[in-house]
Structure 1
Amino acid sequence: MTVVGIGADGWAGLTAHSRQALCAAEAVVGGARQLALLPPQVTAERITWPTPLRAAVPGLVAELAGRRVAVLASGDPSFHGIARTLTEVLGPGRLHVLPHPSSLSYACARLGWPLEAVEVVNLVGRPVERLAAALYEGRRVLVLAAGPATPGEVAAVLCGRGFGATRVRVLEQLGGAAEHVHEETTAARLAAGAGGPFDPLNVVALECRRDTGERGAPDRPDSADARPLPRLGLTAGLPDTAYEHDGQLTKRHVRAATLAALAPAPGELLWDVGGGSGSIGVEWMRAHPACRAVAVERDAARAGRIVRNARHLGVPDLRVVTGAAPGALAGLPTPDAVFVGGGLTAPGLLEACWAALPAGGRLVANTVTLESEALLAQWYRRHGGELVRLAVASAVPVGGFTGWRQAMPVTQWTVVKPHPGPAGPPPVAPSPSAPTSQEPQ
């Protein structure tokens, strides 16, 4: 199967190799817009992608077996394109990709931006709230639009999170005869109705700017997402004010230590058991765009709050399961790491989490109660790992002076599930050695 990238310039912009592949094909598969760009000399059967596309690919590939097939895709098929899905189905050895310059390459060429220094957010078939994870002062972002409404939707997200001053340019039909670059505006003006209409084939370019003092957006009282983001960093431990919560929130400093223990890596899946406000799952997913998480929360109101927090902070794909663990864990995909933030004493909960983890998987559990602490001590003796107590104190006014207010200490158990090995005695938690004369007392 040959995958041919095509731009807004259509047949005229294709290389001789790409044209030859299309003319030699017995069937050409693509979107209606791409297929309409082909001239009459391409005599192959033209097949429009069915929807939903990803689910339909294996069946369509099977139907076309034995025929010379070409697939048309926008720009570079390996960059946010169909080549990824086809590779997963066919394997890289059965796929020949002929790329065309992507719309993002054209956009950077028109704007004078270095492509490697730009954040890319794909909103084709994806929630617009994903943009929120890319919002940092001064950051340049290119948004792959899903259609003519995308620029306005992007502007609403920016304004609702305190970035109404962001500089916006909409670039249409890049590389084609109808190419047009709109004049620069701000997210606030765009959200208020200025600018447009826009071509369905567009890229939205953003230079992120925070609002300063003046209101940068129209009121949106009907939206739970219409609240400015506090200043956020790339590392774990976002400000507590970033979250909507009812007190069930892993506080900032403990959260940072917890994410460090969980050690998220690209593509890994987390179970956040006893999700509360969803802060652990949210920050796990913010660690890398490929990270995935499932939050399990028995309280329906809190589950709804997790959904809102995930949308507001740019990870709307966080999956929320409403139900009590361990029962609600049945059928979930295998996790790479598990965090238990509540309900530790529920019968069978730790056993179910431990059984679900593959070898090398991590389990982190936090508690503030004596009963749960005793349970963690038992598991620590049985499986080893690390048992620590985290204590945080904050400076507060004491009359005309300042003193320390101690938060409840948190006991945290961290363990990595061992790989199967020769039968032997269970691991024993290490005990501290007696100090020597050379060690501090």
Structure 2
Amino acid sequence: MSGAHEREVDVTVVGAGPGGAVLSYLLARSGVETLLLERHSDLDREFRGFGFQPDALRLLDEMDLLEPILDLDHREVRVGEVSVYDRSYEVFDFEDVPGPYDFALLMEQPPLLETVIEAADAFESFTYRPHTPVRDLVREGGRVVGVRALDHDTGEEFVVRSRLVVGADGRFSTVRAAADIDPGLLDSNIELLWFKLPDTVARGAAQSRLNEHGLLLYFGVGGGEVQLGWFIEKGTYPDLRAEGIEAFRRRLVAVDPSLDAVFPDALPSFEACSLLHIEPGLSERWVEDGLLLLGDAAHVASPIGAQGNALAIQDAVVAHAVVAEALDRGDGPLSAGTLRRYEQRRRPAVERVLRGQRLAERGLSLIVRRSDGLPDVVTRSLLRTLFAVPARVPIARLPFGRRLLTRALFGPEPVHVDRTRFRE
């Protein structure tokens, strides 16, 4: 693009997260001239979604990406356990999921994204531009016909014209804002504080500990580390910081005494933490003439159930089929009518997942805020009843809490990669 201020491609994808990277790969492999724009100079950003459910693994396998991804540093999760007042219970088991996808994958996101982008780069129809934030949409006659972007390396602003712009740029999507689409964010009473510790503190790849002092989540991400999550009541993080990092470490040790062995070196300050505002949402619309939203730009998932990555990949698979078919027909700028087939397929499945997450979130909110409610002896009894179920009981016979969690982890109805569009 040297010396030029305008370029034309078939599809411009904004955002190199799981949804944007996967869609770009699928389109490029289908012979669609695709430009992937990423605002950051690299993909190395902490505390992004690190869980990939069995259905996401199946889809990655269908697009020939699972094998190289499994060569990366990762952890496999087949069973999840929770320790409730020092008694351990199994809360999910992927044993009944058809093999070979009978596990979830936990890993850092950057290496996976780099693998997908490298696979896309094998096709001449693909171009990746990091450090290139999109500033605005370009419209003609009320239709989106491209984007206006900034090349940070040269300081030049340029225009990319395309038959379709895909907003895959996350929960704070610039594309969605430029299109004046309401993200439909929902209130939440809790927030999640993330931090990493040596993996010696965790007994398994996925576990949690709960008592009267709080709730801790543990997720192995490879590289000798485990990522922990601490739920807090919304708006209380400034108070937590004001108490100091030593007071916070004492709270964590009260839930899991074994953590004391890695402190203070493993958590020296709050700078090692990242606060996630749990604000799920469902955008009012996902498509218009020349524009399509996917992943968090279209629907912000709660971290509960670790479904965000799977939803984004499923979106990309369905969008690929719709877009590639329309472009093969020789359609000009893609209309909202054509793109609506994607939204009609995906919105019901996403709504079902979000409803389940909202129910689970309300239960977690009660646990996080219960200190002013029921006496501890009553809380212990209720929680132990909720989780105390025999292993390998059919899902239909499980108590409500475990059944809800299992359904959330298994994901929405399956979609499949349209390999007939691939040009080998």
TM class by shorter chain equals under 0.3
Q: TM (normalized to structure 2)? A: 0.22
More helix by share: 2
Q: TM-score, normalised by structure 1?
A: 0.22
Structure with larger Rg: 1
| Larger RCO (CA within 8 A; separation ≥ 6) | 2
Higher strand proportion? 2
